Structure 1
Amino acid sequence: MLYVRLFQRKFKWLPVNKLDYAEIGSDLKPVTEELVNGGFIQAEKDLQELGEVLDLLPAPELKSLAKTFHLGGCGSGTQKQQLVEGLLRLGKQRSLFALAPGQSSTGAVILKRAKHLAGPCVRLCREARAVFSRLLLLFSLTDTLEEEEMGSGGHGQLYTILLVNSGRLAFPSYTVQRMARLFRDRDDLIRYEAAICSLQEVITAMQAGCWEDALGLYTSAKATWQELKQTCDLSYEEQLPVFLRCFTVGWTYTRILSRGVEILQRLRRYEDSVEVLKTLLAQSVYCPDSRGRWWDRLALNLQQHLKLHEEAIGAIRDGLSDPLVRTGHQLSLHQRAARMRELTRFKKFHRLLRDLPAVHVQDVTHVTIRGQLFPHAGGMGKSVFLRAEDESAGEEPGTMVMCSVEDLALAHYRQLGFDQGIHGEGSTFSTLFGLLMWDIIFMDGVIGLIVCLMVFLINGVSLETLQALLADVWWAVEGRVCSLVNWERFSSLQHAQSLVACLRGHFISRLVLRMAKDYRHCRAGLPDLVVWNTSNNTCKLVEVKGPNDRLSQKQQIWLDELRKMGADVEVCHVTAIGSRGHLS
């Protein structure tokens, strides 16, 4: 019991006197001794890193320790981190007394006194912990390790297992048809675990803005990948289906190389970045979904940073001709070429630019609304507006509330008669998709059944039948955990049915078929809002853009696609009162 408790906590040294598990026992000393003797945890005798010891001490004891060594700057306002850094610097200094035989260094003296202040402490043995972590990884396979999972020993996974075993969490039932063996042996699994740990270390350094550290981690991982390709037979990975290939060593190191492109660009090493991009694009086994981003980035680096314009145009052409590049990145490459054609300095390349494949997307209606910008929203990220409470929505009249641009737009559409509205972005549509496709997704013979459902929906199925179909699935599987379905997106079954009544079967069938063909690339870029009028069954899909925000390529494509499907779509620009806005 104690080991599991410690396993779920962050991987670091813990003071024994801070461990309080009454259900295990009032005196944990004999329990910890048993775990130490069994090789599962370490005791303080193994604690030899000064930084780790200092991390255990609270600020008052750190301050007392610093004063003992006459460390300056130990006033009442001194931060704990400053004290730790000061003691670490002092510990690295070479003492004159350490030159004499039998004398300890300054660092050793500080370590001894700090350990005395910290008292008994324990930490999980790294090797034994790695075995349990590896078991959890294999039990609940993932293609990344979140920082929390790395530090806390899979706390989230253990908690999920507990919820499932206690009946408080339910997943869909389906038959696993295991057609391929993902890991041939234990070494394959260990290599994969090491790869995703390396990936997470790179990501963590990037998120912290430590670009030089990130470069070092990336360089080390790249060298490991080169060595693995020479010493291990990884050809079996190419035979795996794509949905399993993402759990391989090659896929993971390819993701690290892709992250390396961003690191190199941040450090203005554009030539190196281009070389990595060319290496990534020279293969199509790993991360094929990223090829559009790689082509786009390659064209940008060649054009803007290296001024190799003809090569940039070649990259655009190759990217537009690549069958693995999806529509969003195709449009991005097309727009880059269009911008180049408009510039005088590219006049001599007009023939090359003119002969590129074209991508056509039609614009939709744009409207502009104005609102009062909250004046003290600096540092809060997105723009924050003020709006009056809406009595028709059950709010208390006469007061002002802070709101997002999407909430301001919802209030605007309520005034236009749309009494229902959801700010759900892609989750609104994925939830409808998941509910209507539930039985098909979790049974065999998926492709044929999808076509049958589409024919059923598109051939004028009655509103009552469509709502009954939704109700049957809702009542059968409500609450089951599925990545497609957000059960909180609709307040009730009736709420979802009222939206389905407004969208109608013909539109829903085309939307579901589009998502079924390429869900990975369809889940992003869908409009922010769905608003509808329950009295006349009209509906509008709205992309909301705040000040200084613009449509992404995926959003442009989705708006055009939805318009072609027959939906009423528009872009709602929210501007501050007194500023210049978009033309309606």
Structure 2
Amino acid sequence: MDLVTRCIDLSENRLCTMPKQENATTRECLPSFFSRFSASWVYSKILTLGVSVYERDRRYEDAIRILKILLSKVACDRRRGYWALRLSIDLEHVGRANESLSTAEGGAIDPWVRAGSKFALQRRVLRLSKPPRRWKVPSYADYVKRSIREVSIEGRPLNCETGAKNVFYGYDGELCGVEQLALQYYADEGGGWQGTHSEGGIWMTIFGLLMWDVMFSDIQDVFQSKFQTAPLDLETDDFYKSRKDLAESQLKKIQDGMAEEMLISSWELHQGTSCQGVNWVRYSLTDLRAVVACIGGHRLASLLRHLAVDYRSWSSGMPDLLLWRFLDERGGGEAKLVEVKGPRDQLSEQQRAWILVLMDFGFDVEVCKVSPVTKRR
């Protein structure tokens, strides 16, 4: 523990005394995607880990001090959402509710706070800002409070031990997890759906295949080695900004119903070539074609644009299941996304944020809650 504390103290001292130009990522310096190779990024990473150490030991005042330093010294960083959220929580732990609320309010409007972190901070603001502490209702209150459709299914559990992995007997009598049980339900009683338990995997594969030319376009400095599987700026705001015209051209084709044709062409041209997010083994071309056909061009283009604009913030937390089915012989179909939760499981803030975004895009999305039954089917 002494060694850990020394590392934290050293990083805190170095970050606090670092000259301003070395501490911030600016246009006049290196491109933003090189920031993780800077000394300040390394020190801030150590301090971020140090916060979790202090919180584990309930040293909340030390965690608060470190988090305030990070937020004041590192201006342009996607981790600001995590820092603001932890600071707000730790301030509440020590009884400083007003400061906790102010921190959450500031984090919720910070342009570097995105996705689940932003949603979590907004929810904290709504919880902490009860009158008389705050009388004005935030503009995002109705959006955050929107209801999410839920369905409930039952399964016979292997065991009911608290903390144990959820294992159920499936419809076929074999042991399976909650996701496989839900897949069996949707294939049978739930409406004859085909599907896969992929979380974000299938979406990352579709993104890579349909946006291949955008990812590997000729942009200065983003490829430093022939062995890269993605441009260095993929997880930065510069990715979309530097390729906006090309990206929008691809997305327009997708929106106009050309996604299946583009998918086939990309598959045939690049099959087997390593690309970040693309899984050539797990997903077949047949299934990928069925997925894009059933989703529809407008919804698919909206989702892929969302990833292109902010790949890092939104590349995790997508619903567990992607389901599809054809309605007629002419190829008309529909798709559904399902987040599966076992007994005692709750939606994470990132998952909740994704579900609301997908609802905005017009997707059919729901939460499937699996509860145990003791009697045999």
TM-score range, shorter chain: 0.7 to 0.9
Aligned: 1:529 with 2:324: no
1:513 Cα deviation from its structure 2 partner: 0.6
Equivalent residue, structure 2, for 1:253 = 43
Structure 2 vs 1, CA of residues 225 and 314 (structure 1 numbering), >3 Å: closer, same or farther? Answer: closer
1:511 Cα deviation from its structure 2 partner: 0.8
Equivalent residue, structure 1, for 2:302 = 510
1:240 Cα deviation from its structure 2 partner: 2.1
Equivalent residue, structure 1, for 2:248 = 451
- What does 1:111-260 align with in structure 2 at a 5 Å threshold? 213=1, 216-223=3-10, 226-227=13-14, 235=22, 238=25, 239-260=29-50
Equivalent residue, structure 1, for 2:281 = 488
Structure 2 vs 1, CA of residues 274 and 531 (structure 1 numbering), >3 Å: closer, same or farther? Answer: same
Matched residue type, 2:216: F
Please tell me whether the aligned partners of residues 424 and 489 of structure 1 are also in contact (alpha carbons under 8 angstroms): no
Equivalent residue, structure 2, for 1:410 = 183
Match 1:302 to one of 91, 104, 107: 91
Equivalent residue, structure 1, for 2:372 = 576
1:337 Cα deviation from its structure 2 partner: 2.5
Aligned: 1:349 with 2:133: yes
1:438-494 deviations in Å (ceiling 9; x for gaps): 112101363211011122222x33xxx43221111101111111122112331x212
Matched residue type, 1:299: S
Aligned: 1:562 with 2:344: no
Please tell me whether the aligned partners of residues 11 and 47 of structure 2 are also in contact (alpha carbons under 8 angstroms): no
Cα distance in structure 2, aligned partners of 1:377 and 1:535: 42
Matched residue type, 1:363: S
Please tell me whether the aligned partners of residues 209 and 266 of structure 2 are also in contact (alpha carbons under 8 angstroms): yes
Match 2:81 to one of 292, 297, 317: 292
Secondary structure of 2:74 counterpart: coil
Equivalent residue, structure 2, for 1:384 = 167
The alignment's C-alpha RMSD in Å is: 2.4
Equivalent residue, structure 2, for 1:470 = 263
Secondary structure of 1:574 counterpart: strand
1:418-443 deviations in Å (ceiling 9; x for gaps): 34211000111111011000112101
1:409 Cα deviation from its structure 2 partner: 0.2
Please tell me whether the aligned partners of residues 377 and 384 of structure 1 are also in contact (alpha carbons under 8 angstroms): no
Matched residue type, 1:374: L
Please tell me whether the aligned partners of residues 23 and 73 of structure 2 are also in contact (alpha carbons under 8 angstroms): no
Matched residue type, 1:372: R
Matched residue type, 2:210: L
Equivalent residue, structure 1, for 2:155 = 371
1:507 Cα deviation from its structure 2 partner: 1.2
Secondary structure of 1:544 counterpart: strand
Name structure 1 gaps, 5 residues minimum.
Answer: 1-212, 390-399, 580-584
1:181-233 deviations in Å (ceiling 9; x for gaps): xxxxxxxxxxxxxxxxxxxxxxxxxxxxxxxx2x6324335315635875999
Structure 2 vs 1, CA of residues 478 and 377 (structure 1 numbering), >3 Å: closer, same or farther? Answer: farther
Cα distance in structure 2, aligned partners of 1:231 and 1:330: 29
Please tell me whether the aligned partners of residues 51 and 67 of structure 2 are also in contact (alpha carbons under 8 angstroms): yes
Structure 2 vs 1, CA of residues 225 and 299 (structure 1 numbering), >3 Å: closer, same or farther? Answer: closer
Equivalent residue, structure 2, for 1:548 = 344
Cα distance in structure 2, aligned partners of 1:313 and 1:420: 45
Please tell me whether the aligned partners of residues 328 and 557 of structure 1 are also in contact (alpha carbons under 8 angstroms): yes
Equivalent residue, structure 2, for 1:392 = none
Please tell me whether the aligned partners of residues 24 and 74 of structure 2 are also in contact (alpha carbons under 8 angstroms): no
Aligned: 1:424 with 2:208: no
1:376 Cα deviation from its structure 2 partner: 7.2
Equivalent residue, structure 2, for 1:497 = 289
| Aligned residue pair count | 342
Matched residue type, 2:276: S
Secondary structure of 1:509 counterpart: helix
Name structure 2 gaps, 5 residues minimum.
Answer: 220-242
Cα distance in structure 1, aligned partners of 2:129 and 2:22: 44
Cα distance in structure 2, aligned partners of 1:228 and 1:274: 16
Cα distance in structure 2, aligned partners of 1:231 and 1:259: 20
Please tell me whether the aligned partners of residues 425 and 529 of structure 1 are also in contact (alpha carbons under 8 angstroms): yes
Cα distance in structure 2, aligned partners of 1:350 and 1:285: 28
Secondary structure of 1:489 counterpart: coil
Q: Give the TM-score of the pair, scaled to structure 1.
A: 0.55
1:320 Cα deviation from its structure 2 partner: 1.8
1:327 Cα deviation from its structure 2 partner: 3.4
Please tell me whether the aligned partners of residues 253 and 259 of structure 2 are also in contact (alpha carbons under 8 angstroms): no
Structure 2 vs 1, CA of residues 221 and 349 (structure 1 numbering), >3 Å: closer, same or farther? Answer: closer
Secondary structure of 2:134 counterpart: helix
Matched residue type, 2:86: R
Structure 2 vs 1, CA of residues 431 and 270 (structure 1 numbering), >3 Å: closer, same or farther? Answer: same
Matched residue type, 1:551: L
Secondary structure of 2:340 counterpart: strand
Q: Give the TM-score of the pair, scaled to structure 2.
A: 0.84
Cα distance in structure 2, aligned partners of 1:232 and 1:315: 26
Matched residue type, 1:427: G
Larger radius of gyration: 1
Secondary structure of 1:444 counterpart: coil
Secondary structure of 1:482 counterpart: coil
Equivalent residue, structure 2, for 1:326 = 114
Match 2:63 to one of 273, 286, 290: 273
1:234 Cα deviation from its structure 2 partner: 7.0
Cα distance in structure 2, aligned partners of 1:566 and 1:455: 17
Aligned: 1:358 with 2:140: yes
Matched residue type, 1:284: V
1:486-544 deviations in Å (ceiling 9; x for gaps): 12331x21221111111121111111111100010111121100111135422111111
Structure 2 vs 1, CA of residues 269 and 419 (structure 1 numbering), >3 Å: closer, same or farther? Answer: closer
Structure 2 vs 1, CA of residues 452 and 243 (structure 1 numbering), >3 Å: closer, same or farther? Answer: same
Please tell me whether the aligned partners of residues 540 and 567 of structure 1 are also in contact (alpha carbons under 8 angstroms): yes
User: Which protein has the bigger helix share?
Assistant: 1
Structure 2 vs 1, CA of residues 221 and 529 (structure 1 numbering), >3 Å: closer, same or farther? Answer: same
Equivalent residue, structure 2, for 1:165 = none
**Aligned-residue identity in percent:** 34
Equivalent residue, structure 1, for 2:229 = none
Structure 2 vs 1, CA of residues 357 and 365 (structure 1 numbering), >3 Å: closer, same or farther? Answer: closer
Worse-superposed segment, 226-235 or 252-261: 226-235
Equivalent residue, structure 2, for 1:84 = none
